[in-house]
Chains A and B, each alone.
Chain A
């Protein structure tokens, strides 16, 4: 049984803040296939298209029939723990700072044997386990042996917490808490046990429905934050930056225009100010302090969430300038991910389809409820994934984009959505 994660005591201000040492991050190109799947929370292994053999570690050819036709296929992960050890020594600083560390060798029912990190609830070998995958603090896929049936608090296993960004007892900044999505995210975080939620407001005079009630939640602290204003961003970072564990950037401007439908660049410029430059301002102000606190105790700084859009993958002409701003934000988010990875801080990109909000009023269903989006964000933090595509439309566009991005471009241009 995993002990429920208890609220850690206040930090002793006399002690030096420990710095992050990443676990070994090097992987070969083929092995990155495992990481690509894990970024979405999927456990995939190479399966030979010719002879059907499943193999691990990843290879350049089928170890049975030598075929190069290997595809990544989802796995159940069912297997048997054959043998285990507990490391009392490691050659790597990351593990040295976290010893003892339990490891196992699992024979997957699909065939291969695999070395895994072991969840504390897994019984002594031999025993049945379920192998899953997580991104470790280096952002690389690692295999984990889970108990077949976990207890209520299994997510609080110390090894597993290292691989995730659970908001429980953490301090979170939600950059815009007034939009329907922002409000839903704040409520979901409060429900998930966040210790403190700073809720940004760009326009204090606006009082949307539900916000006054939200502001009264004991965890919530409303702060002024206008991501269009560099000074506003810097001032807030100076005030709370050194305490933030998770940044969730919900600030966005969404208008529905293409190129010909509206003269001038004013609205498009405003979309870029919020959706792209806003992210850049936030990243410059909050990124370095998150990195500095990436190993600061059990509730260290852990993640950065970007609210993007499925339109970031391929332009949706009816909201063409918005799509372009989200594509710019996606590109910048990849840069942010690369930089924050150096400290083991995860960047989580969320790609929803149309939301059930005022700016998608004329879009037919299915539309994603803000509450569903908020739940998807909290779940993604708990699961430690990097990319999440919530909702049926997002899943559908993603599948089409992966199948053939050119075909999707033509479909979207022809008004198909």
Chain B
């Protein structure tokens, strides 16, 4: 039998220099401004010249008509490796996986992974109506609720199927707000109580106000390079230990009850030689709390349907027994478009390199970052996850 090439491991890949360009509810700047400021912070923080950044990935919804290649001329970059990764909530994981291979193979030495979006006063509405073919044809004409409608379907269905209550989702939102209060970049600055969560106005029942993210402008970025390079530059860094990605998983499920993580998690933990219990800090993709709960299940922290009990039994704050979305994530920081797919990555790098300030999880060495993106019709299609580990 022919021995086909096996998937190679992710050894020899470091992530460093987590960058966040301050979030703003509305901005008069274009997306290129945010990409530019992110790259500037990467250059200044790394001590590298612009010319030494020889790989670039760009993720954005508001860059049109430009893609990554337009960014190179706009910012005067000349990379020898380039990728445009417009997959929103999955873009962080996907950018890292691609950058890792480029670095391993020598196609690039230093890859800047950037996600940036602006948010003008009316831009969210325009994004929704033209988000995908299927959204234009088969979901936006139905009430134009955007993803709220679909995730209301998914949430209501999950609640009926597994006995989750609004309070259970509230625990997630409330804990993340507590985490956000220790994150200077988070747009939400006031505490949120479970009572306030329960009393919020309905948006698309059972989704209420605090189940929704707030669109904003901002950017997240990091560098990918060989660990030796990061060491020589004196940059605190983390190592990539495993990575998975899946698209359009379980498409026969009439309503989404599980994500592609459930299909690939064994592979992820096997790559890293870890089990869920070994993870010190978890960043889920939190477009809606039900998806956070689903990730607890599909990433193996509890069994399918045990999500409600899991959140009742654990303290999800950075100081708690199950530190989750330790910077407040999108629900409490804001969703800066595609940067929402990077926020877990930059937060984990900070947590594992001692840069998390007041919200540091003591002794955290291993982090899992999950991505989830692109609700083209009735569910998000892209799922992915990576495991990162402190380097020393």
Interface residues of A (CB under 8 A from B): 23-28, 30-31, 56-58, 82-92, 94-95, 101, 103-105, 107, 113-117, 125, 136, 138, 140, 142
In the docked arrangement, what's the CA distance between A28 and B204, Å? 27
B51 beta carbon closer than 8 Å to chain A = no
Q: A23-B144, A91-B145 are in contact. Are A82 and B205 (CB under 8 A)?
A: no
In the docked arrangement, what's the CA distance between A82 and B150, Å? 12
B255 beta carbon closer than 8 Å to chain A = yes
Q: Is there contact, CB below 8 Å, between A26 and B129?
A: yes
Question: B115-137 vs A: 1/0 string, CB under 8 Å?
Answer: 00000000011001110011011
Binds A, one of B36-44, B85-93, B151-159: B151-159
Q: Is there contact, CB below 8 Å, between A85 and B156?
A: yes
Q: Is there contact, CB below 8 Å, between B138 and A57?
A: yes
B7 beta carbon closer than 8 Å to chain A = no
In the docked arrangement, what's the CA distance between A83 and B256, Å? 11
Q: Is there contact, CB below 8 Å, between A57 and B128?
A: no
Q: Is there contact, CB below 8 Å, between B160 and A88?
A: no
B45 beta carbon closer than 8 Å to chain A = no
Q: Is there contact, CB below 8 Å, between B160 and A24?
A: no
B160 to chain A, nearest CB (A): 7
Chain B 137-180 interface residues, beta-carbon cutoff 8 Å to A: 137-146, 148-150, 152-154, 156-157, 160
A367 to chain B, nearest CB (A): 41
Q: Is there contact, CB below 8 Å, between A115 and B156?
A: no
Contact of A92 among B125, B157, B203, B205 (CB under 8 A): B125
B378 beta carbon closer than 8 Å to chain A = yes
B229 beta carbon closer than 8 Å to chain A = no
Q: Is there contact, CB below 8 Å, between B153 and A83?
A: yes
In the docked arrangement, what's the CA distance between A58 and B377, Å? 12
Contact of B157 among A30, A83, A88, A138 (CB under 8 A): A83
Ordered nearest first, which 3 A-B pairs have the shortest CB separation? A92-B144, A85-B152, A31-B137
In the docked arrangement, what's the CA distance between A207 and B279, Å? 92
18 residue pairs A–B, Cβ–Cβ below 8 Å: A27-B137, A57-B137, A57-B138, A57-B377, A83-B156, A83-B160, A85-B145, A85-B204, A87-B143, A88-B202, A91-B128, A91-B129, A92-B129, A103-B149, A105-B254, A113-B254, A117-B142, A125-B160
In the docked arrangement, what's the CA distance between A88 and B154, Å? 17
Chain B 189-212 interface residues, beta-carbon cutoff 8 Å to A: 201-207
In the assembled complex, which residues on chain A have CB atoms less than 8 Å from the CB atom of B143? 87, 90, 92, 95, 101, 103, 117
Q: Is there contact, CB below 8 Å, between B145 and A115?
A: no
In the assembled complex, which residues on chain A have CB atoms less than 8 Å from the CB atom of B137? 27-28, 30-31, 57-58
Q: A24-B141, A83-B153 are in contact. Are A107 and B204 (CB under 8 A)?
A: no
Q: Is there contact, CB below 8 Å, between A82 and B157?
A: yes
Contact of B141 among A23, A85, A87, A89 (CB under 8 A): A23
Q: Is there contact, CB below 8 Å, between A88 and B133?
A: no
In the assembled complex, which residues on chain B have CB atoms less than 8 Å from the CB atom of A31? 136-138
* B201 to A, closest residue via Cβ: A88
Chain B 250-305 interface residues, beta-carbon cutoff 8 Å to A: 254-255
In the assembled complex, which residues on chain A have CB atoms less than 8 Å from the CB atom of B152? 85
In the assembled complex, which residues on chain B have CB atoms less than 8 Å from the CB atom of A140? 141
